[in-house]
Amino acid sequence: MGVFVAQVRPRWSDMDAYGHVNHANTVTLLEEARVALVFTEAARQGLLDMSRGMVVVKLAVDYRVPLVFDGGSVDIEMSVRDLKASSFVLDYSVRIGGNGSSTVAVTAETLICAYDVEETRPRRLTDAERDFLASWHSGGARG
């Protein structure tokens, strides 16, 4: 498959004094998209345990053009890279504009680790989780 696309709608209250969606709220939009993939889509495919134990270890966000509230949704494209025994990197491209002429406003990446909440330590990804994540593998670095 390669790329999972989540449509997320910024809110008017997400804007800062300059009319841009501020950093903290951009991170929240990324989180909403990540939940759609790692929790909702995974559960739809029978992987219920992913929502019980995944933690963000690292986050990097790069802004290319301002992300502004215009009442519409943004497309957040996500793909997996660096799939390892207990972690993976999720790459994001936040696209604005739509109608075949969209612009990448934000790129980001999160390093995510599978986590055992009861044991309070990292855990290995199951074979089913690895297969699920591999189906969204991008094969390269973010763009």
Q: Residues of the chain with pLDDT > 90: what percent?
A: 69
Q: What proportion of the chain, given as a percentage, has pLDDT over 70? A: 93
Q: Is 76 helix (H, G, I), strand (E, B) or coil?
A: strand
Structural domain boundaries in the chain? 4-136
Determine the Cα–Cα distance for residues 14 and 12; give it in Å rounded to an integer: 5
**Contact, 54 vs 115, CB < 8 A?**
yes
pTM of the model: 0.90
Mean pLDDT of 112-131: 94
pLDDT computed for residue 80 by the predictor: 96
Average pLDDT in the chain: 90
Q: Give the dihedral sign, CA 22/92/57/33.
A: positive
User: Is the separation of the CB atoms in 105 and 94 below 8 Å?
Assistant: yes
Would you state the pLDDT for residue 99? Answer: 63
Top-level CATH class of 4-136? Answer: alpha beta
Who's near 135: CB < 8 A, 6+ residues apart? Answer: 1
Q: Is 23 left (phi over 0), alpha (psi -120 to 50) or beta?
A: alpha
| Residues 85-114: tens digit of each pLDDT | 999 999 999 999 866 668 999 999 999 999
Cα–Cα distance, 31 to 56 (Å, whole number): 10
